[in-house]
A and B are shown apart, each in its own frame.
Chain A
Amino acid sequence: MGKTTSLAAVRNEIGKARGLPNEHYTDPATFKEEAEAVLFANWAGIGFGKDVPDNGDVRPVEFLGVPLLVMRNHDGDIGVFQNTCRHRGMILVSEPKNLRNTVRCPYHSWCYSLEGELKATPHVGGPGHNTHELIQPAELGLIRIRSHVWRDVIFVNISGDAQEFEECHADLLQRWQEFEQPLYHGGVASSFRLDVKTNWKLAVENYCESYHLPWVHPGLNSYSKLEDHYDIQQPLQYSGQGTYVYRQLTGEYEQTLADFGDLSEQWNTGAEYIALYPNVLLGVHRDHSFAIILEPLDCVNTVEHIELYYATDADADDNRSVLRETNARLWKTVFEEDIDVVEGMQKGRKGILFDGGRFSPAMDGPTHNFHQWVATCLESSRAQRSSLDA
């Protein structure tokens, strides 16, 4: 581990605070510290339920170098496991596939159920002898990673000691309770990824504030002005922005996308965009939603996995396919417009005299909220480590 950064300035109240020091965007050792203290210690997004649609589907995912295996069992429930055989540490599954019954290790054929139970240990007691008194299957199931699926995002808590997801995020679950209804993925055109040369946190910071909208997304000025937006801040949990003037897309014959059912009046023209810390960006509207998972590849490279969802099944609602495709195209344009600024902020942090920058007390509350949360996670982790060292 490199030198420990000072976070005191980040913890100041917004008018006096500075942002996270440069090392949090440029230093591999600090990236590693954040991986454990921020991304592993909380509920991080690692994938989407729509990518394991059928019972028996398994999908390997690597998150910050940790090999994970997402499996949908025969009851339709999603579980996440370490993708590592308990025998000699072989990677179990190398590509997405559908399994009838068990995961079989390609090395010595130890077999695991879709719930991770060790089901067979062939020849473990010698040829033709498949038991050994010292190899107890009950002790050697796949290592389960705590997981929770919400809004089709698969969240994991790798450290295993975060609060339950529903307790941790009770406030947001309540805030968006009206949207707790079936989501239908929009299909191929509603799924895209952007590879961005930036630290993952800069993508969060850019997403959760509206200050940049008139400058970076001038196309929004005609109908969604800066003053039509409001900040969303929940200390140590999430932050973002909302708009009062969401305008539905209309098709050639004035048709619109189908609405989610029984929404209250505020959503007629309201929409909200929230960064659920650490790495999931969510948006809700009366007629569609989206989820973005930020996959930090390393200190300076991030993949944005973007998926759009609707109130009706795309297969059963073919006459809105053009609208869905138009909607996806519009969003892709907006997200691509952000690439220059998040990559530019990354480059700017090579300026060795940059001091973390300042926050506008009027406009940067959501960003400061995020910085404070990161600083809190790091301080908590450092305190734990100190007490262990002592």
Chain B
Amino acid sequence: MLPCNESSLLSLNESSVLPCSEPAVLPRNEPAELPRNEPAELPRNEKDSTLHQRMLQAHAAQDLNSLIALYSTAGKRMETRGDIDAACFYLTHAYVYALELDAPELTELQTRLAAYGRIHTP
């Protein structure tokens, strides 16, 4: 049921903190270390695996602001691909971290998830 399949956004492995146990499907030659302090929002043509690495880095640093941005980006990509369940999976993560921080993105994330019927109407 988890949104991990051939078209999945993220590669996941045993050390991943993301809630998915499907095997990794993306190339292994992606850079393990990414430059810090880059903007969380990635260019559209950035590889999904790069986004995944950024997520792992943000999780390791407990950088909730970056996690909100990165999961929002992931959600938008999946929306673009028409996979609404997967989109809502990532938007949910962004929403939870936004809720924790009372971040400015909270209202928009609530609205989007509510529009898909995925949270109780705020």
Contact = CB atoms under 8 A, between A and B. Distances in A.
B69 interface: no
Given A120-B119, A137-B120, A126 B99 contact: no
Interface in B77-122: 84-89, 91-93, 95-96, 99-102, 113, 118-120
Nearest to A125: B118
Given A127-B1, A128-B118, A111 B100 contact: yes
Contacts of B88: 127-130
Interface in A234-289: none
Given A126-B1, A127-B1, A130-B92, A102 B120 contact: no
Interface in A117-134: 119-120, 122-123, 126-131
A129 B3 CA distance: 12
A101 B118 contact: no
Given A123-B89, A127-B89, A101 B119 contact: no
A111 B84 CA distance: 23
A119 B113 CA distance: 14
A119 B99 contact: yes
Interface in B1-30: 1-3, 19
B86 A128 contact: yes
A122 B91 CA distance: 10
Contacts of B87: 128
Nearest to A109: B96
Interface in A128-183: 128-131, 137
Given A109-B96, A120-B95, A127 B101 contact: no
- Most chain B CB within 10 A, of A102, A123, A126, A128, is at A128
Given A122-B92, A128-B3, A137-B120, A102 B99 contact: yes
Interface residues of B, number: 23
A127 B21 CA distance: 13
B99 A127 contact: no
B3 A104 contact: no
A100 interface: yes
Interface in A79-129: 99-102, 104, 109, 111, 119-120, 122-123, 126-129
Contact of B100 (A100, A123, A130): A100
B54 to A, nearest CB: 20
B115 to A, nearest CB: 13
Contacts of B92: 122-123, 128, 130
A128 B85 contact: yes
Contacts of A137: 120
Given A128-B88, A130-B119, A120 B1 contact: no
B1 to A, nearest CB: 6
B3 A127 contact: yes
A124 B95 CA distance: 14
Contact of A130 (B1, B86, B102, B118): B118
A129 B2 CA distance: 11
A188 B30 CA distance: 52
A101 B95 contact: no
B93 A127 contact: no
A120 B2 contact: no
Contact of B89 (A119, A120, A128): A128
Given A122-B92, A126-B1, A128-B86, A102 B119 contact: no
A47 B59 CA distance: 33
Closest 9 CB pairs of A and B: A128-B88, A101-B102, A128-B89, A130-B119, A128-B85, A127-B89, A100-B102, A122-B92, A104-B100
22 contacts: A100-B100, A101-B99, A101-B102, A102-B99, A104-B96, A111-B99, A120-B96, A123-B92, A127-B2, A127-B86, A127-B89, A128-B84, A128-B88, A129-B85, A129-B88, A130-B88, A130-B92, A130-B95, A130-B113, A131-B118, A131-B120, A137-B120
